[in-house]
Amino acid sequence: MQDFVSREKSRLLEDLKSWLRIPSISTLPENAGDCRKAAEWLAARLKKLGFQVNTIETDRHPILWAEGPAVPGAPTVLSYGHYDVQPPDPLNEWVTGPFEPTERNGNLYARGTADDKGQVFCVVSAVEALQANGGLPVNMRFLIEGEEEIGSKGLTKFLKAEPDRVKADAVLVTDVHMVAPGYPSVDTALRGIVHAEIKVRTLKKDLHSGLYGGAAPNAIETLWHLLEQLKPPTGTMRIPGFYDRVAKPSARELKAWKALPVTERGFIKEAGAKALGGEKKFSFLERVWARPTFEVHGIVGGFQGAGAKTVIPAEATAKCSLRLVPKQRAADAAAQLKKAVKKFAPKYAEVSVEILSTADPVETPLEAWPFEVLDKAYREVWKRGIAPIRSGGSIPIVPLLQQRKAPVLLTGIGLPDDGLHAPNEKLTLEQLWKGIPLFARFLQLMGERGGK
Ligand code: BES
Ligand code: MN
Ligand code: MN
């Protein structure tokens, strides 16, 4: 397998770059055509590797369902990922353009390198390596969507209508990262999410801030007081009922986390911060992996142009999300948020909450046999077995990938400092070159186990 990589490296890199050049930003309507192009790019790739590819239409961006050649008696492995990416702004912070993939000091920089095109490409290339070495040892399927970054609505509908698509011996989800370079890991839980927009209106129209200021209610000011009520500086939310079902990580888990090669100082440095924020009683790992939270992503309202304008804004909006941990339910949290906003909203303001998307948290226990296989593959290729970790991120479709009881393996070749959703997102090329033989070996070992 290593031969395949050494031989094909430069061509593979050019291929990946051509995929990364397609700005498949799922949230922006003007990039819908690019999303389709990115799907077509991958469909062509998989067809070339002998896969039967179906393009499934949704209300927005297409899903790809691809089946490899049948291998009678061998296990079935389903690989999930996404070809859509987050918007690249702020553009001026990119050293090279987000859609002009560029190599610098061993990394490939572009939007989507780590999240998630590069990681999908890694598994697809492992399949290519196996095809070049006598064929696939398992019944391989790919399920690749274009709406992950906007909540996976189309795929949710599809998998609810066709639950048997996820019947498999293992579902491989390469949309996460390893805990540190040289330390392969598997996530045992992901946080869920409630994406919301809170809108405040305090006036019929904007007013002169001299003539009315001091007496007329300002929508931005009302909004910030409201947000402060929901989440005071202690970092613990004041949403009634919100913590009722929060499950504590087990003592065993906490102990395992202590042994991980990550430190609070390292985390602060990686974040580019001066100190930690949030709930002081909890370690940084608990804060991002095992505690629910609330973040404001953007505040819209008032005057945003160059220069000055003395105005009292009539309306203000906060784009925000709650992150949820195991045992919480997205539908409950959404209802609790709406109720809390109502409770804290002053009488003089019209306040509304719109829920944009939701995803439940997931638990993916590592008991099933495919985890042993994965561990063995990592030991052989990476010289270290898998560490159980969690991740604070969300992958909305995972609960439905579990609906036929297949074990879901959340593992990836990305690194914590890849800069997902941020400027200068990168993939460390060494990780990619090692990832290809890793996933190839994993599939070989799956085949050898023959479904037992
Ligand atoms: N791949 C990420 C989630 C992730 C990253 C999980 C690293 C674990 C480790 C995914 O693409 C993502 O960003 N999800 C969104 C989901 C949301 C937009 C519905 C998220 O977590 O914000
Ligand atoms: Mn992703
Ligand atoms: Mn993402």
Reported as a single tens digit per residue, the pLDDT across 267-276 is 999 999 999 9
Task: Measure CA 350 to chain center.
Answer: 33
pLDDT in tens, 77-115: 999 999 999 999 999 999 999 999 999 999 999 999 999
- As beta bridge partners, residue 316 has 200, 301
Phi-psi region of 240 (alpha: psi -120 to 50; beta: other; left: phi over 0): beta
| 317, 320, 322, 415 from 297: Cα distances, Å | 11, 5, 11, 23
Ligand 1 pocket test: which of 84, 117, 147, 149 has the largest number of ligand atoms within 8 Å of its C-beta?
149
Ligand 1 pocket test: which of 394, 410, 431 has the largest number of ligand atoms within 8 Å of its C-beta?
394
User: Hey, whose CA ends up nearest to atom 14 of ligand 1?
Assistant: 394
Q: Please identify every residue whose CB atom is under 5 Å from ligand 2, which is an ion.
A: 115-116, 175
Distance 436 CA to ligand 3 centre (A): 22
Q: Using CA atoms, how far apart are residues 273 and 314, in angstroms rounded to an integer? A: 34
Task: Give pLDDT, residue 105.
Answer: 95
| 107, 350, 439 from 122: Cα distances, Å | 15, 50, 8
| 192, 195, 251, 281, 288 from 328: Cα distances, Å | 8, 15, 20, 20, 15
Half-sphere exposure of 448 (CA within 13 A, CB side): 11
Q: Which two tokens stand for residue 31?
A: 């990039």
User: Hey, whose CA ends up nearest to atom 3 of ligand 1?
Assistant: 393
Sequence-distant (6+) residues with CB within 8 A of 136 are: 68, 69, 71, 127, 130, 443, 447
Q: Where are the beta strands (DSSP E) in 62-101?
A: 63-67, 76-82
| 326, 330, 409 from 365: Cα distances, Å | 12, 20, 9
Q: Which candidate, 293, 298, 113, places its Cα nearest to that of 197?
A: 298
150: phi then psi, degrees, rounded to nearest 5:
-120, 20
Q: Which two tokens stand for residue 101?
A: 């993939």
Q: Using CA atoms, how far apart are residues 111 and 108, in angstroms rounded to an integer? A: 10
Distance 175 CA to ligand 2 centre (A): 5
Q: Which candidate, 268, 445, 301, places its Cα nearest to that of 372?
A: 445
pTM of the model: 0.95
> Which parts of the chain have pLDDT scores under 50?
none
Distance 269 CA to ligand 1 centre (A): 21
Task: Give pLDDT, residue 450.
Answer: 76
| 109, 116, 301, 430, 448 from 105: Cα distances, Å | 10, 21, 41, 11, 38
Task: Give pLDDT, residue 271.
Answer: 93
Contact 76, 168 (CB under 8 A): yes
Sequence-distant (6+) residues with CB within 8 A of 147 are: 26, 58, 60, 61, 82, 84, 153, 154, 155
Q: Using CA atoms, how far apart are residues 362 and 187, in angstroms rounded to an integer? A: 10
User: Hey, whose CA ends up nearest to atom 8 of ligand 1?
Assistant: 176
Q: Using CA atoms, how far apart are residues 427 and 336, in angstroms rounded to an integer? A: 39
Q: Specify the long-range contacts of residues 25-29, CB closer than 8 Å, at least 24 apart.
A: 25/84, 25/85, 25/86, 25/87, 25/88, 25/111, 26/60, 26/61, 26/84, 26/85, 26/146, 26/147, 26/148, 26/149, 26/150, 27/86, 27/87, 27/149, 27/150, 28/87
- R_g of the chain, CA atoms, integer Å: 23
Ligand nearest to the CA of 414: 1
User: Hey, whose CA ends up nearest to atom 20 of ligand 1?
Assistant: 394
Distance 124 CA to ligand 2 centre (A): 16
Please name the residue that has the structure tokens 């839980």.
189
Task: Give pLDDT, residue 451.
Answer: 55
Distance 203 CA to ligand 1 centre (A): 37
- Write out residues with Cβ below 6 Å of ligand 1: 115-116, 148-149, 151, 175-177, 190, 193, 357, 359, 391, 393-396, 420
Distance 309 CA to ligand 3 centre (A): 36
**Which amino acid, one-letter code, is at 339?**
K
Task: Measure CA 170 to chain center.
Answer: 20
